[in-house]
Amino acid sequence: MARKKVGILLSGRGSNMMALVQAAQANDSPYAIALVASDKLEAPGIAWAAAQGLSVFTQSPKGMAKSDYEALIDAALRDAGVEIIALAGYMRLLSDAFVARWRGRIINIHPSLLPKYKGLDTHARAIAAGDAVAGCSVHIVTEELDGGAVLGQAEVPILPGDTADSLADRVLAAEHRLYPRILAEFATQ
């Protein structure tokens, strides 16, 4: 069976992208990484991906209309034959038009147990609320921020003395296990 071609969008460190790339190296992976793209020219994840020999594409949106920026990203993804877009720390909102063009084929990892804590500062908000568990979710991207159908979640405990940073580290380790598994399931649908 042909592997589904995945395009990853990121804005920074790229540790989730690395987990997806490493999982795609397995002989039985149902997906292959066709492109790693970023809105940040200096994103550490892009340098890592390029060093792995992956195709990379960077485009700063500065000084451009959002629609023009997204048209370039869209063209790069289509040129690479991408069938599924996996957002991995991509910190820019996609327009409704972009989401519509890729309807049902964009997934995202978010550092909370959705529907709790959409948006930013998820770990600080979970601690402030006195929650006993935190976690991460992989979901379909729709026009509603962090609002699409949840495909899978992983929970971690919130421990006494946790800070947003210590909790983020624990959640991130869970993200690296969850995201490759859920993407593999999604790619075989």
Which residues are catalytically annotated? 110
Question: Is there binding between residue 110 and ligand GAR (CB under 6 A)?
Answer: yes
**Cβ neighbours for 71, distance < 8 A, ≥ 6 positions apart:** none
The burial of 128, by beta-carbon neighbours within 10 Å (0-12 exposed, 13-18 middle, 19 or more buried), is given as exposed
CA distances from 85 to 33, 62, 122, 165 (A): 10, 22, 23, 28
Question: Is the CB of 119 or the CB of 157 nearer to ligand GAR?
Answer: 119
Question: Is there binding between residue 111 and ligand GAR (CB under 6 A)?
Answer: yes
Ramachandran region, residue 17 (left: φ > 0; alpha: ψ -120 to 50; beta: rest): alpha
Question: Is there binding between residue 13 and ligand GAR (CB under 6 A)?
Answer: yes
Question: Is there binding between residue 89 and ligand GAR (CB under 6 A)?
Answer: yes
Which token pair is 189? Answer: 């649908």
Question: Is the CB of 42 or the CB of 78 nearer to ligand GAR?
Answer: 42
Q: What angle do CA 86, 49, 77 make, to 5 degrees?
A: 45
Question: Is the CB of 16 or the CB of 29 nearer to ligand GAR?
Answer: 16
Question: Is there binding between residue 16 and ligand GAR (CB under 6 A)?
Answer: yes
Question: Is there binding between residue 175 and ligand GAR (CB under 6 A)?
Answer: yes
Question: Is there binding between residue 70 and ligand GAR (CB under 6 A)?
Answer: no
Structural contact between residues 185 and 152, judged by C-beta atoms closer than 8 angstroms: yes
> Which of 7, 14, 148, 180 forms a contact with ligand GAR (CB under 6 A)?
14
Which residues of this chain interact with ligand GAR, rule CB under 6 A? 10, 12-16, 45, 88-89, 109-111, 136, 172, 175
